[in-house]
Amino acid sequence: MEVSEYRRVYANVDLDAIEENIRQMELQLPEPVPMLAVIKTNGYGHGAIAIARELEQNTAICGYAVATAEEALELRRAGMKKMILILGYVFEKDFEALIREEIRFTVFRYDMAQSIAAVAEQLHKKAYVHIKIDTGMHRIGYAVHRQSVEEIIRISRLDDLELEGIFTHFARADETDKSHTAEQYARFDQMIGWLGDEGIHFALRHCCNSASILELGEYHMDMVRAGITLYGLWPSDEVDHQFSLCPALSLYSHIVHIKELSAGEAIGYGGTYVTSKTQKIATIPVGYGDGYPRTLSNQGDVLIRGKRAPIVGRVCMDQFMVDVTHIPDVACMDRVTLIGRDGKEEITMEELGDRSGRFNYELACDLGIRIPRDYYKNGTCIDEMNYFA
């Protein structure tokens, strides 16, 4: 891949890796089933619009899942035509715009459904909803009991509402022990059965998240939701790593300064690292203002010329320092790999998450808007997203 024009910090996103991850997930399902690509939080930090543009052409992807009205409308305004489902609560101020754009609502209260229906009636347009069932996550959703069935029946009688889907979310599918997930699936199936007895049926029943796509494909139902694995990242350490996932994002910077310090010199805020001998120290112009974790202070590594260089001192808002004493011929403007591979060495999102006290989801989502993203297909940059251009 070519080196980006952005020298301070930049991310490369490999769209071919995302396509391969979709293919690998499809192989785990007993039969073909539509896949909803979860691209909330700016595509887990990878860039929602660029990824959606790629996936508009992928026949395995039936639509996108997001968390907020703003994320959904951003996709529509960028030209995305496929189904969009908002997984969380939607505030009434956004109802009209969402109904006009045929964006799907998650519904778990009658008063919310009633308000959506009222706006849909004013617009003379159908509103599509997915009923959320709480089978053990205890976040949002209808509890599995008869009173919930009665309320959903009332919702089904509202004019201008189309009950397109019903779904739940697994709380512990990424654990080795799948018994809790099996219990959740059984509760969900029971709720679907009760509603079916009342003549209420759904075109899209869905419960599988990334971990259950990989390990519990028999729960696929009518649709699955691919999240973290879409980006080649693991749901947890307990998920079987035999599957071929390809990390999509790599992160780079460049050395901007090198100095030689004598023994006994304190480095950075608080002087938390003191040189033990004559050492060569390089400055990297990236920091926690970019989403690079401050907790990697004196903990993390970067890759320079195929070798690991340890972080010394505290990570600052916009810069941090590394020890390059052991790297021959190191020079200013040498490329620095923060996430990704250089020669035989690799730093993964999972490694950085473990070493920083975060986890890979959080680390990916926290990569900030100061980091330009370059999108590659077949080794060629096809799109650049720089929020400061």
Catalytic residue set: 40, 269
Give me 194's structure tokens. 């009760």
Whether residue 105 contacts residue 92, with contact meaning beta carbons closer than 8 Å, is answered with no
> Residue 128 to residues 40, 86, 112, 166, 203: CA-CA distances in angstroms?
19, 11, 13, 11, 11
Give me 46's structure tokens. 């990878």
3-state secondary structure 209-223: CHHHHHHCHHHCCCE
Rounded Cα distance between 274 and 281, Å, is 12
Pick the closest to residue 366 from 351, 353, 348 (CA basis): 353
Cβ-count burial of 378 within 10 angstroms (0-12 exposed, 13-18 middle, 19+ buried)? exposed
3-state secondary structure 269-330: HHHCEECCCCEEEEEECCCHHHCCCHHHCCCCEEEECCEEEEEECCCCCCCEEEECCCCCCC
Whether residue 330 contacts residue 280, with contact meaning beta carbons closer than 8 Å, is answered with yes
Check residue 156 and report its DSSP letter: H
Rounded Cα distance between 70 and 68, Å, is 5
Rounded Cα distance between 123 and 236, Å, is 44
252-277 exposure pattern, b = at least 16 Cβ within 10 A, e = fewer: bbbbeeeeebeeebebbeeeebebee
Q: How many CA atoms lie within 13 A of 353 on its CB side?
A: 18
Q: Which pairs with CB-CB distance under 8 Å and at least 24 residues apart come from 353-357?
A: 355/296, 355/299, 355/300, 356/293, 356/295, 356/296, 356/299, 356/300, 357/293, 357/295
